[in-house]
């Protein structure tokens, strides 16, 4: 198969660099898609998808949006920024909803499309007629403009507000709750999907408790084991690549259930097989090479804090991070972490740190000097602050040929813990 053809076909079955928007590629999320579809049958009901960074919130949102959005337009998607405001985000929505030809807007204004033209201020009308999306000066104006624009955007418009957790100002976040409530109470024909990490939804509903009535919340977890294998199987079969069961299991395990890692490792592995194996069969060293390639291009927001925490004058912290990642539980007690750490050091033929030094290193990794890579959840318990870092740590251990324990609760443990 020519390289261009191989690359194009791989781009249709793997998406390590962009979010998915089709049911065919979205694995393991059928239940959530059904939840969203049924929730939207209620007038005024909107969706809030939350979960750890990297679990595929945007992919689920885009796929659900494309299912609901009518074919006369594409869903609108905007992202929040750290210094963003309600007005800025809503204005971004208006910019994407505006038609390219401003004459369409003038015709709609003249026809009133069910709105009283007088409800628009002279400034708003002038802006709309000039083809310039107006900036709402209040929530009421935002609702009014939304109703006007959605009336001709499409038959069933869907709007995604992504990275909602980036909006740090609580008072600005609270305005969205009032905005959504008013849209629902006015029966305006538009569906919204908000995406954010878990803390974002707590903040959102804490500022406007009645907003719960307008939202169906979807908690997104890491991918279960079978969907991970399904991604690998469907992608490899589409490219006529043979992946043995052991290699597929190793990819599924090291990915830690984060879809991005599965897609990235598969991409690197498939290119190695394409270049190395005329019969397109995986060879013994291909997996390790794919892991090395994947680690070398991983996102800076994972690599930089990891290396900041581990590349110190003593260089004795990396095995500690691997020990924290050596189980399916996200939170681990110190006793279990020490047991994992001592086993890892034995397999590497290295002397473990003394207990006092070990405890000191663990505490150091909670400090800003080590980018707070670990957090203490309760007395004597630790977890990665950024949950995707756990998967990255497992990949780094695999890169060094260090085998960690299984990371799924239904799998049989490889190693017996010491008491």
pLDDT score for 417: 56
255: domain range? 225-296
What is the CA angle 362-413-395, rounded to 5? 55
Q: What is the DSSP string of 346-395?
A: HHTT-PPPPHHHHHHHHHHTTSGGGTT-EEEEETTEEEESSTHHHHHHHH
| Residue 111 belongs to some domain of the structure | yes
pLDDT score for 345: 96
Sequence-distant (6+) residues with CB within 8 A of 237 are: none
Instruction: Write out pLDDT tens, residues 120-149.
Output: 778 888 888 888 898 999 999 999 999 989
Distance between CA atoms of 136 and 240, rounded to whole angstroms? 53
pLDDT score for 410: 45
| Residue 125 belongs to some domain of the structure | yes
pLDDT score for 207: 67
**392 and 282 share one domain:** no
**348 and 247 share one domain:** no
pLDDT score for 409: 46
Instruction: Write out pLDDT tens, residues 304-339.
Output: 999 999 987 677 899 999 999 998 888 999 999 999
**269 and 198 share one domain:** no
Burial 176-185 (b: 16+ CB within 10 A, else e): bbbbbbbbbe
**55 and 139 share one domain:** yes
| Residue 343 belongs to some domain of the structure | yes
Residue spans of the chain under pLDDT 50: 113-118, 408-411
**166 and 271 share one domain:** no
| Residue 14 belongs to some domain of the structure | no
Q: Using alpha carbons, select from 52, 67, 89 the residue that is nearest to residue 20.
A: 67
């Amino acid at each position: 198969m020519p390289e261009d053809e191989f690359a194009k076909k791989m781009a249709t079955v793997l998406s390590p660099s962009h979010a998915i928007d089709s049911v065919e590629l979205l694995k393991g999320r059928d239940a959530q898609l059904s939840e969203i579809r049924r929730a939207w049958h209620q007038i005024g009901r909107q969706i809030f998808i939350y979960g750890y960074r990297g679990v595929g919130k945007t992919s689920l949102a885009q796929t659900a949006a494309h299912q609901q959005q009518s074919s006369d337009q594409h869903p609108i998607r905007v992202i929040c920024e750290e210094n963003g405001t309600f007005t800025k985000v809503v204005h971004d929505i208006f910019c994407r909803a505006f038609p390219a030809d401003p004459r369409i807007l003038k015709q709609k204004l003249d026809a009133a499309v069910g709105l009283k033209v007088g409800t628009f201020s002279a400034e708003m009308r002038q802006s709309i007629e000039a083809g310039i999306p107006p900036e709402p000066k209040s929530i009421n104006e935002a609702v009014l403009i939304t109703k006007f624009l959605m009336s001709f955007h499409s038959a069933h418009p869907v709007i995604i507000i992504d990275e909602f957790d980036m909006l740090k100002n609580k008072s600005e976040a609270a305005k969205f709750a009032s905005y959504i409530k008013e849209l629902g109470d006015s029966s305006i024909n538009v569906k919204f999907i908000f995406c954010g990490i878990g803390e974002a939804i707590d903040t959102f509903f804490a500022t406007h408790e009645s907003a719960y009535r307008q939202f169906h919340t979807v908690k997104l977890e890491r991918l279960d084991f079978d969907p991970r294998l399904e991604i690998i199987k469907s992608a490899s079969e589409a490219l006529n690549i043979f992946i043995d069961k052991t290699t597929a299991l190793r990819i599924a395990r090291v990915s830690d259930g984060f879809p991005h890692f599965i897609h990235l490792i598969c991409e690197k592995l498939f290119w190695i097989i394409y270049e190395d194996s005329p019969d397109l069969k995986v060879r013994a060293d291909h997996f390790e090479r794919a892991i090395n390639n994947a680690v070398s291009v991983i996102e800076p927001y994972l690599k930089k804090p990891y290396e900041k925490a581990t590349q110190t004058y003593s260089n004795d912290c990396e095995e500690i991070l691997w020990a924290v990642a050596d189980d399916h539980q996200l939170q681990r007690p110190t006793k279990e972490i020490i047991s994992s750490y001592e086993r890892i050091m034995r397999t590497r033929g290295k002397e473990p740190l003394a207990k006092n030094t070990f405890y000191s290193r663990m505490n150091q990794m909670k400090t800003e000097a080590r980018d707070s890579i670990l957090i203490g959840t309760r007395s004597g318990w630790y977890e990665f602050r950024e949950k995707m870092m756990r998967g990255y740590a497992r990949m780094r251990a695999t890169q060094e040929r260090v085998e960690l324990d299984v990371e799924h609760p239904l799998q049989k443990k490889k190693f017996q813990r010491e008491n």
